[in-house]
Every structure is written in structure tokens, then in C-alpha cells.
Amino acid sequence: MSHMTSKTYYDLQKRLNENVQGAPASKYLKKILETIFTEEEARFITLLPLGVFTAKEASELWDVSITKARRILNRLADKGTMIDLKSKKKHAYFLAQPLAGFFEMTMYGGERYDEDKLANNFYDYMNKEHRFMKELFKPYPKSGRVFVQEPALHDQKASEIYNYEKMSEVIDNATNIGVGICYCRHKMEHIGKKCIHEQHNCLTFNEVALTLIEHNIAKKISKKQAKKILKESIEAGLVQFGESVQNNVAFVCNCCGCCCEGLLAYKKLGHKGIAHSNYHAKVDSNLCAKCGVCESRCPVDAISIDNGKIKVNKHVCIGCGVCTRFCPKDAIHMQRHSPEFIPKDDFERIVLQAIDAGKLQNYIFDNHKLWTHKILRRLTSVILGLPATKRLLFNRQIESIYFKMARKTKKVQMFEEFFLNGKKVDCSHPEMEK
């Protein structure tokens, strides 16, 4: 079903749907939003921009005092629905997207909500209806990517492995690290489908980790502790699946094929929507004992035994390296292939996804109180909705123009300060030059 009867929550759903990943209407989504947000909160969030904003800007949009706006925003951050950003000079906020975002953070524990009710509605919305996951998987570049397990690359030349491919680099370069409950396994436990794997191993980094730690949603841990969690997760056969950016990664989950939303959807929706690592598994037939361990361990069913031979479907294999760990004959190694495009940072990823999804106007003209922004959103939407050949020419033009002009805006300057440690947005990526 795709209806939402309460106007307040319907308006909130429409606002969330303007995000690049979308939030299709559903009776289950309405129940989720009603559980998480009060009607006042839902009404206020509908007016917020999709990018970074201050309490002063929120107060002007809401027609309330700055004190009241800050109180509401901090309450939303306590709930895990608002990212609370702080620097030496500024204090700003960023509305968490649904996934990976406030869907997970509301299930991080702490008894802030009726978790049984939330878990069942999340399951119906994402694992049964599939519309949300289909929308999430559509935009290019992809939102999530797989990290190849470094122990599986023992026979690779170090010079051939990019730094952004390494989980150890994500940990070593992090300014803050937090650990929370795995949303997927926690959800499955609440609906009676608990698996054997550890739940307290969902890692967050940098600014996102800091806000979750400060609002008692995640626990602060050291780099040494994070590496211990990573080692234990690799030993347990879990997949490292995280944010698809090269720099300033916000999260990396340790995923199982039986519970992970991304891996389950990947298998159900035609093996798409996830950025593979730059490797795939290759079997040495001379060493292979055909025991079937790799087939049973593969989290995405990419390995099969056919006529007594082990076969790896390279188009399905996500390049995680799990199979190499459990092969008793060391007959599997990771073979490098043409690299997937991974955006340099969140800014590049979101802009490219917004253009691809026809939603860039929602980020540029994001003041819902201005009628001029409403008109400009519609105009840009028409242009982005042109036939593919005409739209391709426009996309290339707008990418170049938008990236160059955006750097001068206050919104992007705030984004650079909080998410890129003050570094300027780089518009020179080869993907921008095509």
C-alpha cells in the first residue's frame, strides 16, 4: 500500500523523498515516522533544508526563538535523527537521511522507542515492500561500498592497493570513532530472526561519530579497540560495508548475509546498488578440494559447485574476501579488476546522485517558505526530466557550473568546515571532466 493519511506525516514523507535516496510513501513508513517524531517535530522538519544549517536559520524557518529552535534540534539529535555539528567557531545541524541514517540510529538501543514496533515496521517497509530499497539502489554513484579484507590481499603488491580501499586507513585517519548496535541484526532479533553474530560492532567515524557519542547513541572507542572489532568481525566472516566515499568515511558496518539490509536487497533486487571492492574471488582449481566451504560462506551466493567444479560469478561477487579466510586449502585469492568509481567525498557523491536522480533542485532551492524556490525547483525538475540524450548534455554542463559556483556559497563553506576539515571541495575529479 502507498498511502499516508495524516497530512503532517505525509508532508514529512514528501520532504524525505526529496533526498537523493528517496522515501516512498507507505503505511509502514507512516507508522515509523509516527513512532519517531511528534507532530510538531514532523511539521518543523518538513521546513528544513537538506544541507547544513544553523539554529538561527531553523528559527527563521520555524518562526520561533533561537532558544526554542536549538532545544528542538538538540532533542532531535538525542533521538538520533539530527546530526549535531560543532567546530571552534560554529554550531550547525544536518538532518540525517533515512538509511544509513536515522533508521539505524533509532534502533541503536537505549529504549528511546518501542523497538518491537519499529523493527516490525522497518522489516515490512524494507524487506517486504522493497520500494524503498529499489529507490536507494537507483542513483549513481552508489551510496554504499564493500571494503576488501586486507588479510586476503597478502599476496598483492602494496603499491597496487589504494589507501581508500583499506579499512585500516579509515580507522587510522579518523578523528573520532564510535561503536553502536548493528541495526540490521538488532531489528531481526526483535522480529524473531536473530542470527549468531555479534551486534555491538557497527562503527562510525569523524563528525558523525562525535555527535552520536555526545548524544549517548554510540560509545567512544580508541583506534586500537576499533581494529580489534575489525579483526574479530573478519574472523567471524562478516563483510565490511560502508559509505561510498574515499575521504572522511562516516560509517562502516560489519555485515552478515542473513540480516544486512544492503546485502539482502542486493541478492533480491538483481545484484545492483552496491559498489564492489576492486577485487573478485578467483579459485585455483589445482588446489581446490571442492569441499563447498566457500559456497556456504559467500554472503551473496556468488560461488557455486557445478559439475564438480567451483565457479565464481564475477558479476555477483562483491570482492569482500570472506571466502579466502575459510578456504582450508588456500585455493582462493583476490584478483584485481577495473576499479569502481568512488566519489572523493560526500559533497561530490550527493551532487552526482542528485543530478542522476533528477533531484538537484531540492538541494539548490531548498527554502520551502519561498515561492520563488518552489518555481525554480519545478523548472529544474523539468530540465532534469528531459529525454536521456538532451539531459546528458545538460547534466555535463550543470555539473561543471554547479561545482564551480557552489564553492562560493555559505552552505558549501559550512559543509567543508564540518565534513572536510576545512578542505575545499575538489571539482577536478575525472568524473567531472567527462
pLDDT per position as a tens digit, 325-360: 999 999 999 999 999 999 999 888 988 898 888 888
Residue 294 C-alpha cell reads as 566457500
Residue 433 has what pLDDT? 41
Measured distance CA(37)–CA(42) in Å, rounded:
6
Mean pLDDT is highest, among 287-291, 376-380, 392-396, for: 287-291
Kindly give, in sequence order, each residue whose CB lies less than 8 Å from that of residue 404, ignoring residues fewer than 6 positions away: 427
DSSP letter assigned to residue 151: G
Is 137's pLDDT higher than 80? yes
Is 377's pLDDT higher than 80? no
Q: Return the amino acid letter for 75.
A: R
Residue 392 has what pLDDT? 59
The domain segmentation of the chain, as residue ranges, is: 7-137, 144-336, 346-433
DSSP letter assigned to residue 160: G
Is 24's pLDDT higher than 50? yes
CATH number of 144-336: 3.30.70.20
Residue 110 has what pLDDT? 57
Ordered alpha helix ranges (H), 269-338: 293-297, 322-326
Residue 303 C-alpha cell reads as 560461488
Q: What is the CB neighbour count within 10 angstroms for residue 17?
A: 17
∠166-169-172 over CA atoms, to 5°? 155
The dihedral region occupied by 321, where left means phi > 0, alpha psi between -120 and 50, and beta the remainder, is: left
Q: Return the amino acid letter for 121.
A: N
Closest by CA position to 115, among listed 46, 179, 45, 185: 185
Report the pLDDT averaged over residues 107-115: 75
Residue 364 has what pLDDT? 77
Residue 423 has what pLDDT? 60
Report the pLDDT averaged over residues 294-314: 94
Domain 7-137 falls in which CATH fold? Answer: Arc Repressor Mutant, subunit A (1.10.10)
For 61-74, what is each residue's pLDDT tens digit? 999 999 999 999 99
Is 233's pLDDT higher than 80? yes
Least confident stretch, 134-138, 315-319, 376-380 = 376-380
- In the predicted model, what is the mean pLDDT of the chain? 87
Is 139's pLDDT higher than 50? yes
Dihedrals phi, psi of 154, to nearest 5 degrees: -60, -25
Report the pLDDT averaged over residues 101-112: 80
Residue 156 has what pLDDT? 84
Residue 375 has what pLDDT? 57
Report the pLDDT averaged over residues 280-308: 94
Q: pLDDT class for 432, splitting at 50, 70, 90?
A: very low
Is 40's pLDDT higher than 70? yes
Closest by CA position to 200, among listed 301, 292, 121, 110: 110
DSSP letter assigned to residue 313: -
With a pLDDT cut of 90, the percent of the chain lying above it is 67
Measured distance CA(106)–CA(332) in Å, rounded:
39
Residue 277 C-alpha cell reads as 571492492
**Residue bearing the bigger pLDDT, 2 or 378:** 378
Residue 50 has what pLDDT? 86
**Residue bearing the bigger pLDDT, 376 or 259:** 259
∠335-337-341 over CA atoms, to 5°? 135
Least confident stretch, 86-95, 194-203, 305-314, 424-433 = 424-433
pTM of this structure: 0.86
Residue 89 has what pLDDT? 79
